[in-house]
Structure 1
Amino acid sequence: MPQNFLACDRGQTMLLPPDLTDWVPDDHVVWSILGAVDQMDLSAFYGAYRANGQGRAAYEPSMMVALLIYSYARGNRSSRGIERACREDVTYKLITAMAIPDHSTIAEFRRRHERALGELFTAVLALCDEAGLVEVGVISIDGVKIRAHASRGANRTYEKLVADILKEAEETDRWEDGLFGDDRGDEPPEHLRTAEGRRAAFKAAKERLAQKAGRGEEPEAERIELDPDQVAPGGGRRGWQRAAHKELIRRREQDAKPIARSRAERLLEALDRLEQNQQVEIQASEDYEKWWAQRRASGVAGPRLGMPPKPWTPPLVPDGVMNKTDPDSRMMRTQGQPTVQGYNAQAAVTRGQIIVAAEIAVESPDFGHLEPAVTAALRELEDAGVTQRPDTVLADAGYWHTRQMEKIVGDGIQVLVPPDAGLRQDARPGWDNGPYAFMRRVLASDYGGELYKHRKATVEPVFAQNKFNRGFRRFQRRGRSAVRSEWRLQAAVHNLLKLHSHWIAPAIA
């Protein structure tokens, strides 16, 4: 008797059912994604195209949105990887109805609709609320470091940035000489327009750098006026400079712009930011000295001022480094892990592991991010139509910020943040009385301990699911605004997968 095997006839004419809907089972996540996209308001996507239909036909925005959501859910965020999956994967073929978008089309759609893709987070949160999944009585806040689309090796000091700009300009001059010879070089044919634009950009960079070196002037920057009450008591000159730098970061966040594609423009942007940082430090130092002199002259009661401030001379060139690939990114420290070039991705999560806020910070420590995260959560809940407000906010010791905690409590929300990190055996100097002792008593009580013990099991699994299960370890875009949209899209995907599990639960039961 011959061996018995199942037939494997690749020439079979009907390998798949003729109906696309028969290709995957009814409980597959792709159906939940397609159903959710059908319920979303995608007018922001459709409004970006001509209403009269002129021009080359574009892919249906709803299809592209579903394709990106499903790809992120599967940990496939590369535009080339998505195109490959559209050729090979049955579920992708179902989403695109057998169409195969080019990887450049996918990347351009993601870039063009960057903001609208981030706003899908609110739409998905509203769907989760309709399903009864958003219970915000207790929310946990934490941050996770995600690598930027830039390497640590791209960090440059001011001197190295200047050298890189000069090198770019010199290489462009050599290219000009080889292309135009003795001609002026300003009459290129039509097909050289792109090269001419590149040449002009590099030449402008060189001229700009020469002007700076010739006049020896600092770049003009918007002056930052500090309220002395905003500066940490006893912080001195460095306290004023740190407070001014935080305000500069906040303003950059409000005015976040896309990172330029041109390498020359990115080099200049990194150079400008280092100069702005130094200018802000100089202004803050001058303001501190004026404030000290006024306090001394007026005899206002308060903390001892001590000796006059020591003279401070700013360095000849700005200190620090800036990343020439993504100037918004920073070196991030993670406990027990190597330092990474990236962003601090913040999230506010319910007990049901639904993300109710997803924001981006450029400072590595979590200190100072408690109030912004709570404010973002309240805003997102309101935008999604959720009427319930959080009763309690949980966060780890890195979020302890007395002023921010007092403000949140003043808004009627209880805050539980331990004053001591888990590895510390005793209180930090000066942290053994007042609000610190009160918080220790609350956390040691049955009530506080029962509430706080859920923090780790609430927020940290969310980060693990996204970083390790879905491979979200590195951003695909550059710049704070683009990274924020990508993080919000990933959070929307996470919530949508929770919604899918909720929808299919009765069928499984």
Structure 2
Amino acid sequence: MLLGLLIYAYCRGIRSSRQIERLCSTDVAFRVLCAQDVPDHCTIARFRAECQDAFTGLFTQVLMIAGHAGLGHFGTVAIDGTKIAANASIDANRGHEWLSEQVTHMVAEAEQTDATENIRAAQRAHDDDDRVPARLMDQSSRARRIRQAADEVAAQLKRQRNNEDDRDAAARARLAKSQAGEPVVGRIPDGPHRLAEARAHLARETATHQSKLERRAALIAAGKKPMGAPPVPLEQHSRIIRARRVVEAALAAEHTAATKPAKRVLPKTVANTTDPQSRLMPTRRGFLQGYNAQLAVTSDQIIAAVQIGQSPNDIASLVPMMEASGRAAAMLHTDTGRSEHIIGVVLADAGYCSDSNLSAPGPERLIALNKTRDHAKAVIEQPVTGPPPEGASPRQAMSHRLRTPEGSRLYKRRGATVEPGIGNLKKVLDRFSGRGLNSALGELNLAASAFNLMKIHRATAS
């Protein structure tokens, strides 16, 4: 009964347990669902918090119903993500220093309390009437959350140190190549090796152009006529001018870092004491304390798979979402045997673009390499046909496929497939009720099930 109430409430866009309780007394449909046995709002909230596994199974069952109803066309599957707010305040984020102080303070306070209680217990060993009941001796949930937040920050700091070590090793490798006279592609990264690499780059460009001048002078001295236009003087060569600007910028940055007055620096690695597993998510309207919800939507706008992530970046979510979509399609195809329950092409925007995602095993995919306007411009100005050329890199091959008439036609359907689904889903679920990854995933499954049921209802009613 409670599951039916929640499904119908989410289909109506109602998530508040108190509002559901009131409607069970005033709304005919809700009264029928609960058989006029009105549940307390605490019971509804507790059921939603404790029955997350049931929502995952519900999502699978609703997807099977959609498949038998002739829905779930997997010819094109669009994947996209959206940020959904957590049940936590953005002001509850704390850094490692504050959390460490709190944990130390709690440990010291607990030890002092234990010592005091031991003394009192020894003095009143014969009297049990004044002891605190066992049900009231549980530790504070706030203390548990603070410890969990401290663990989250420690894990983030460890990952951050590993990433910094990797970046430093990569910067050292770049510097060694540059000092050896080998060309290095890409912008010089910031850090302690920036100035040294900039100077090595300038020396390499100077040596390269100087060798051209010397070869031309040697030909003239030998009485031969050099081919082509004479090279510009060393001081006027554009590459040398740019290299000197890079050195000047590195010197200025180093000087600024050395002379800049010390100021209070906000912690870069934080954790939320209300929901330690939630993260700060950048959005178009600023920062949001929440989760990154991923959706895979079929061409007829049935949600085929959902996922909850902690990273604001979508790159790491593509392969798991493709695998989840593949499992859903295989399950439906095994049960129905219909050809539309086989994945054709996966569509994703530029937020998922990486060399690993472009070359990962799985279904055929079209992933944008840049913004939509740049993609549309490339299709008009540089159209191509046929398969990608042999020896093309993953990005070159994807660029070729996107500029073909078929690739352009398929990719145009991405926005119209997944964006309406995300917009309508967020009308139901704009903020999670529970806390933690598992709770958020369960509620997302519940909301996606309600969304799919509404799609099934509209499709079969007509």
- In the other structure, the counterpart of 1:264 is 143
> After superposition, where does 1:333-482 map in structure 2 within 5 Å?
333-334=282-283, 336-384=284-332, 385=335, 388-408=341-361, 411=362, 413-422=363-372, 434-468=393-427, 470=428, 472-482=429-439
Q: Distance in 2 between matches of 1:483 and 1:120?
A: 15
AA aligned opposite 1:443: L
Q: CA deviation at 1:486?
A: 1.1
Deviation at 1:422, TM superposition (A): 2.7
Name the % identity. Answer: 34
Give the alignment's TM-score, normalised by structure 2.
0.68
Partner of 2:216: none
Distance 1:155 1:386 in 2: 49
Equivalent residue, structure 2, for 1:54: none
AA matched with 2:136: A
C-alpha contact 2:157 2:269 (8 A) present in aligned 1:
no
Aligned with 2:277 (options 320, 328, 331) = 328
Please, which moves more after superposition, 126-135 or 440-449?
440-449
Distance 1:364 1:285 in 2: 19
Instruction: Determine if contact 1:274/1:319 at 8 Å carries over to the other structure.
Output: no
Distance (whole Å) between structure 1 residues aligned to residue 105 and residue 51 of structure 2:
35
Task: Give 1:441 shift.
Answer: 3.5
Q: Which moved more, 1:490-499 or 1:396-405?
A: 396-405
Report what 2:256 is aligned to: none
CA distance in 2, matches of 1:290, 1:270: 30
Aligned partner (choices 122, 126, 138) of residue 197 of structure 1: 138
Secondary structure, counterpart of 2:276 in structure 1: coil
Give me the whole-angstrom Cα distance separating, in 2, the residues matched to 1:291 and 1:437: 25
Unpaired runs of 5+ in structure 2? 177-181, 194-266, 379-391
1: CA distance, partners of 2:165 / 2:348: 37
Aligned to 2:458: 501
Residue 112 of structure 1 and its aligned partner are, at CA, apart by 2.5
Confirm whether residue 162 of structure 1 aligns to residue 100 of structure 2.
yes
Q: Which residue of 1 aligns with 2:39?
A: 101
Q: Map 1:288-303; keep pairs closer than 5 Å.
A: none
How far has the Cα of 1:324 moved from its partner? Answer: 1.2
C-alpha displacement of 1:381: 2.9
The answer to whether the 8 Å contact 1:118/1:486 transfers is: no
Larger radius of gyration between Structure 1 and Structure 2: 2
Q: For 2:367, give the aligned amino acid.
A: V
Determine which structure has greater relative contact order: mean sequence separation of CA pairs < 8 Å that are 6+ residues apart, divided by chain length.
2
Whichever residue aligns with residue 114 of structure 1, its letter is Q
Match of 2:14? Answer: 76
Task: Give the AA of the match of 1:436.
Answer: R
Cα distance change on mapping 1:327 and 1:342 into 2, 3 Å: same
User: Structure 2 vs 1, CA of residues 390 and 303 (structure 1 numbering), >3 Å: closer, same or farther?
Assistant: farther
Alpha-carbon distance change, 167 to 381 in structure 1, aligned in 2, over 3 angstroms = same
Contact 2:330-2:342 within 8 A present in 1 as well: no
Q: TM-score, normalised by structure 1?
A: 0.62
Cα deviation, residue 137, structure 1 = 0.8
Partner of 1:183: 120
CA separation of 1:333/1:424 partners in 2, compared to 1, >3 Å: closer, same or farther?
farther
Q: Deviations over 1:368-391 (max 9, x none)?
A: 221111011112333454653211
| Aligned-partner Cα distance in 1 for 2:275–2:76 | 36
Q: Structure 1 residues 75, 189: closer, same or farther in 2, change over 3 A? A: farther
Separation (CA, whole Å) in 2 of partners of 1:188 and 1:493 = 53
TM-superposition CA deviations, 1:298-327 (whole Å, max 9, x none): xxxx998x9xx979xxxxxx9611111111
**Contiguous gaps of at least 5 residues in structure 1:** 1-62, 202-261, 297-301, 312-317, 428-432
Deviation at 1:175, TM superposition (A): 8.9
Q: Matched residue of 2:410: which SS? A: helix
Distance, in Å, in 1 between the alignment partners of 2:20 and 2:110 is 36
Counterpart code for 1:371: V
Higher mean displacement: 104-113 or 356-365 = 104-113
Displacement of 1:125 in angstroms is 0.2
Give the distance between the partners of 1:73 and 1:191, measured in 2 at CA: 46
